[in-house]
Structure 1
């Protein structure tokens, strides 16, 4: 929102510097994001003053030049060479002094320098109007009629004072400050200076009225108040310069005097207005009603719109729409060049109704911006009278009839009780009741009762004016007090403390997701995003439909007629696409949702993280040959994800997966969180994928729910670790994970890690047997391990392997 300081000063006179006013507004919650200095003309005529021509003689070496001396008010006459034919002694002129930067109406800017013209020194320039950007004439120098002293800045003579424009980041709760008068009210409390509304005392209605425009409000909840005024003899044309300058200062382009006045009043008082061509109001009556979803009309942006039953519209007597109430006007009923009779609308609309219409039709206007947040119902008539007086001034309008004001259910001010001890509790500092009373009075909040309960001297009953739409509770009142009192005036105490210990929230799901995505991307994986819609034929068995599938009723394509129950097939489609383009080495991952319905018909959606590996795990180089991606490449990626989430060492067991040719499941707290393995050949064939694919599916909902970010630290070990190796022969059904869990249960103090570095199965071991070469890392953080202690640990491990896994230890 842009606010002009020059405009603001017409409502609250102040001599405070612009920067100081900006700091005060920011401190009270109206954050000034930037200050912009505006000039009526480029350069602001800096270095240009009024002077008097003392002497004027012909130049000795040029027929068309004159040699003059000019008094510019500093006691030292300047010699200036002038080429204008009308220069003469005794004239009051405009003089550009040495160093002045001029911006002519035509051509490039230039700087005035001391120079010699045909051998004569020239210390400035006597100016024509086009040379300083004030007009187009170059017939001669400007000759002034003024009693102002020499040396007076030319900008003062021409009324070209500069302006400062504030860019205010208006928050949604400050609808009361969405205008120049709203900001002036804020400054009244901050500066303790009176502000005033524009004078509308000159408004009057005629003794005998013409036929007026009637108003009927058919939905008083959506439109509690609607007022209008009929004007005649309107001459639509360009606005005067002062009005155009006001609008340009806040970034608006002038259109015509009628529209410009409505925009001016909106930004001055915060009350949106709309001007109808009275000749287009069929039946001489306005109906404020809901749309019917059938009748269309063309809006001012040339779009054809159909108001629905949720939209409030301004219609004529026949119910034909003329405007979307509070949002946008219609083209047919809008003011045109030939319009002579205008009906001005000023109303109060329900914020939620305007907000819904604005969102439905994707229309954001200055009017909807204010109506959506809440306007002041008491400003309706003031704005209407202000606009009428301005149109009389700039468009020759005459008031044709009395104001029509339909206000069946007046909007009442809010009543709030304020406990003075509560102010100190929430602010954290004592504020004297006299100061609180002063702040409330300056904010137009009335204290109606200082002792509502007998004997209670610390509770006040307050009446809050309707323009403060967001002040409805005691906490809101205290915020208003604190804003004006000043956040910077609340002292920080050395023993500040909170009245409770905040509970740290669960980790942000998006932060966790980015963390894991960064981990996988750092390992060479590429993230993909696939469609949640899929082909139901992937999952239906021959002659039998999958009842758990979520099917789309109004699908546009049979290939996208169901919500995917797994991310596997959509990922395989991506792999197929790449394989067909000779991109065979792929490492992919995706975060996405899978969908299903249970036997009761209720729908479920679950978040998943899936990982794909196909082709070579690493590219071929001169140092090593390329190797095909294998199960352990995928398992390593899954383990890294779990470790990053704090779930290292998850238990595992074989699992039968519908789409995998054998696989492994990982469990955290006895709950499966990941399944991975090779994609079944039948699935690959169905999707025309021509090479093996390794696939992992992680239950992201379960992992996110259990994930608690922790940071642990311990002192660096002072004593060395020890490694011991064993060759363990077991049945082929025994997994390394079983051996690892046995070792961790057996030795919990000294055993730091267990690793398998070789697996062998062959005729030498016998049928159904395999050998694991396992390393054990032992460490005591309090002392150096002795050989005796190490042997005791290893003997216990060997004993438990033999007992629990039927192992044979190879010597």
Structure 2
């Protein structure tokens, strides 16, 4: 629900800033999800001033241009070339100064710059109405009748005011706050200030020329029905003040009749509906249901089949409107309408909710009726709307207000015990403060005694019917922050714990990998010394030898997890288990300058088929990217995001990558300092452990992982209300350029709007130059503050393409 700050100030005096009001409303239960500033015009006419034309003469090089000198105030006189035929010396005009950004009606924004026009200097622009977004006229420059001094900001002359719009996440129980006056009622209690209701004392009935008969056949569904007829109206465009009110909360003006009903809806929270009185057959309104299956054509031009419990507003012959939900095509307001019957009713929430859900119709009216409206405001809303209609459309009231209210809805009465109120509140709130709060919420106190009182609650507060509800009303206005924390509150559960518990993280890592289909293994830390002797990536001199070895095959401590994992793979392959995804958290050992050291890693291995054989799809062997995806999920789980992949040429890998944190390596002399190393194991290395099929292996530095998981906090932010935009790009690059380098160039060129980069195709072949490859890239762009325009998107992509050409030597494929 949107609430305008400027509109709100009509009903209560406000000196607080929009941000302060947002804080107050949120604390009282009306959660303000955002506060958005709305300028009176785009740009707020910044850099646009009132000036005076001092001289005007014909341009020497153009028949349709004039040379003028314009006084901008403060002794500043500038030359301006003007193309308007009506420019003349002595005029007061609107001038856009150099540097001003203009937002023309229906055009793209542009900035005023110093220029030479047909050889003559021009330092500004004398503006027409459409050039500054004030209207659509381009007949000539605006000539002002004003005594304001030269240099006065144009925004001051046009009385432009900024507005702020609150987006309130209205909970279903707060139907009473579904309007500007509803929000103002809460502010009345919060700020202890009087409420200013619109004056309807000027309402008068002029004649009885268009009396309408009304019959309510279903008072259960429609407990109260009021209406009045107006005639002599002229349907036309609404005045600016009315359009601005509706546009401030995101509504599109339609015409003056419909706009008034929408205005009153958002002002008072009471939905209204206007029928063309000349289309009401038999001059009779009947509130009833129609047989199930009856076709009815609604305002959206769709034909709907009614159900038996759809409440309908009918005339003497058939349906005109689905009561409280949606109007019909046949009785709507058109340009030829001169008389209307204006309806203001109170409908049962159960009936409206059932109908709206059945027909999948969610309107501003049904939103309020489903939650419960004020049955006592229907006649007041009619008077308010009638006065506004006479103001914007002319005409007169042509009937008395019809008011059918056979069984008035009573106020709720709630017995409240003072002791229970203090107990639920957790604090003895002063009784005078309780009385003040409830009085400002229109809740009266009766039968007061030492023990308690009876609260009389108006029916528009549909959620206040129990003692606990009364306490909630008091607390939300009194303020939770004003209720002190008891001194004896136990706080043992708040004791500090270490930031990083290795056992907890170990379980979480294992659970995540298991969820990805990995099986955990535990292998012996003793291994065969031949691995270091026969491989070229291990240093045999760093082996930690066992003095009382059980066998030569288990004679040293392992320097790497690689071979023990390969041994597990070989064992499983020998037992016909060729498709494996396994991991281990274990230690490695090495000797360095007569000192023995150990380090902990996570080892991960995948081999065989990615998924089991199935008749619906061809079997696919595991790939490097399957392993990398699992690692990225693990790092993401621990909030580690500032990582950089780069190609490595380690001797145990046929090809691979290392991932470092924050662009730098961390580690001691034995470790290479990378957070992760992964790639395809060289076939010759795998063969040392008896494995002949393709294996992908990763080694994650567990010590680094623990340190980074403890130092980085996972942060959450609201999902942006503005859409993402995708743009695709095809680059031809040298084969040696990795994707990580493309990512780095993209970050440097645009770090704010580019949210994600993806590769959806890579091509190497005879259709491009030898030694080259083509990347097909997708770029996801998003601005968290506003919707991206094509102009901004195109400029961003042009900047990226220029960066790729400059830094990577890329060729952009069109």
Range class of TM-score, shorter chain: 0.5 to 0.7
Counterparts of 1:282 and 1:118, CA distance in 2: 68
C-alpha displacement of 1:401: 0.8
Match 1:363 to one of 336, 361, 364:
361
Match 2:345 to one of 333, 344, 347:
347
Alignment of structure 1 residues 758-777 onto 2, 5 Å: none
Contact 1:322 1:329 in 2 (8 A): yes
Alignment of structure 1 residues 149-228 onto 2, 5 Å: 149-206=149-206, 208-228=207-227
C-alpha displacement of 1:123: 4.9
For the pair 1:324 / 2:322, whether they are aligned, the reply is yes
Cα 1:80–1:495 change in 2 (3 A) is farther
Counterparts of 1:628 and 1:120, CA distance in 2: 86
Cα 1:495–1:82 change in 2 (3 A) is farther
Contact 2:71 2:150 in 1 (8 A): no
Aligned to 1:624: 573
Cα 1:283–1:20 change in 2 (3 A) is same
Cα 1:85–1:282 change in 2 (3 A) is closer
Aligned to 1:681: none
Aligned to 2:601: none
Cα 1:87–1:299 change in 2 (3 A) is closer
Can you list the C-alpha shifts for 1:703-742, whole angstroms capped at 9, x where unaligned? xxxxxxxxxxxxxxxxxxxxxxxxxxxxxxxxxxxxxxxx
Cα 1:118–1:216 change in 2 (3 A) is closer
For the pair 1:66 / 2:59, whether they are aligned, the reply is no
Can you list the C-alpha shifts for 1:516-575, whole angstroms capped at 9, x where unaligned? 999576258xxxxxxxxxxxxxxxxxxxxxxxxxxxxxxxxxxxxxxxxxxxxxxxxxxx
Counterparts of 2:194 and 2:104, CA distance in 1: 42
Aligned to 2:243: 244
Cα 1:182–1:43 change in 2 (3 A) is same
| SS in structure 1 of the partner of residue 377 of structure 2 | helix
Cα 1:434–1:135 change in 2 (3 A) is same
| SS in structure 2 of the partner of residue 522 of structure 1 | coil
For the pair 1:472 / 2:465, whether they are aligned, the reply is yes
Aligned to 1:6: 6
- Listed as ranges, the gaps of 5+ residues in structure 1 are 452-456, 499-514, 525-618, 634-687, 690-811
Aligned to 1:431: 429
Cα 1:398–1:429 change in 2 (3 A) is same
Counterparts of 2:355 and 2:438, CA distance in 1: 36
Counterparts of 2:513 and 2:184, CA distance in 1: 51
Contact 1:228 1:343 in 2 (8 A): yes
Greater Cα offset, 322-331 or 276-285: 276-285
Cα 1:58–1:209 change in 2 (3 A) is closer
C-alpha displacement of 1:271: 0.4
| SS in structure 2 of the partner of residue 624 of structure 1 | helix
Aligned to 2:39: 39
Cα 1:628–1:70 change in 2 (3 A) is closer
Contact 2:72 2:78 in 1 (8 A): no
Alignment of structure 1 residues 214-613 onto 2, 5 Å: 214-318=213-317, 320-451=318-449, 457-496=450-489, 522=517
Contact 1:295 1:321 in 2 (8 A): no
Counterparts of 1:628 and 1:19, CA distance in 2: 64
Cα 1:77–1:134 change in 2 (3 A) is same
C-alpha displacement of 1:628: 7.9
Cα 1:233–1:86 change in 2 (3 A) is closer
Counterparts of 1:33 and 1:133, CA distance in 2: 30
Cα 1:356–1:44 change in 2 (3 A) is same
C-alpha displacement of 1:89: 4.3
Alignment of structure 1 residues 80-95 onto 2, 5 Å: 80-83=79-82, 84=84, 86-95=86-95
C-alpha displacement of 1:278: 2.1
Counterparts of 1:58 and 1:286, CA distance in 2: 69
C-alpha displacement of 1:358: 1.2
Greater Cα offset, 289-298 or 81-90: 81-90
Counterparts of 1:88 and 1:309, CA distance in 2: 71
Count of matched residue positions in the alignment of Structure 1 and Structure 2: 520
Counterparts of 1:157 and 1:324, CA distance in 2: 47
Greater Cα offset, 182-191 or 306-315: 306-315
Counterparts of 1:241 and 1:311, CA distance in 2: 38
Cα 1:149–1:282 change in 2 (3 A) is same
Contact 2:54 2:68 in 1 (8 A): no
C-alpha displacement of 1:288: 1.6
C-alpha displacement of 1:341: 2.4
Counterparts of 1:60 and 1:458, CA distance in 2: 94
Contact 1:81 1:117 in 2 (8 A): no
Contact 1:70 1:80 in 2 (8 A): no
Aligned to 1:97: 97
Can you list the C-alpha shifts for 1:127-177, whole angstroms capped at 9, x where unaligned? 332332223444543221112333432123223322211111000011000
Counterparts of 1:369 and 1:483, CA distance in 2: 24
Can you list the C-alpha shifts for 1:274-293, whole angstroms capped at 9, x where unaligned? 11222332322222223331
C-alpha displacement of 1:21: 1.3
Contact 2:192 2:440 in 1 (8 A): yes
For normalisation by structure 2, the TM-score amounts to 0.59
| SS in structure 1 of the partner of residue 464 of structure 2 | coil
Cα 1:523–1:285 change in 2 (3 A) is same
Counterparts of 2:400 and 2:131, CA distance in 1: 51
Counterparts of 1:625 and 1:343, CA distance in 2: 88
C-alpha displacement of 1:408: 0.6
Counterparts of 1:190 and 1:414, CA distance in 2: 23
C-alpha displacement of 1:43: 0.9
What is the CA RMSD across the aligned residues, in angstroms?
3.5
C-alpha displacement of 1:59: 7.5
Contact 1:78 1:123 in 2 (8 A): no
Cα 1:146–1:15 change in 2 (3 A) is farther
Contact 1:85 1:140 in 2 (8 A): yes
Counterparts of 1:163 and 1:185, CA distance in 2: 20
Counterparts of 2:239 and 2:36, CA distance in 1: 24
| SS in structure 1 of the partner of residue 147 of structure 2 | coil
Contact 1:71 1:78 in 2 (8 A): yes
Aligned to 1:599: none
Alignment of structure 1 residues 653-668 onto 2, 5 Å: none
- Listed as ranges, the gaps of 5+ residues in structure 2 are 492-509, 520-567, 581-614, 617-814
Cα 1:231–1:107 change in 2 (3 A) is closer
Cα 1:62–1:218 change in 2 (3 A) is closer
C-alpha displacement of 1:56: 5.6
Contact 1:80 1:125 in 2 (8 A): no
Counterparts of 1:428 and 1:150, CA distance in 2: 63
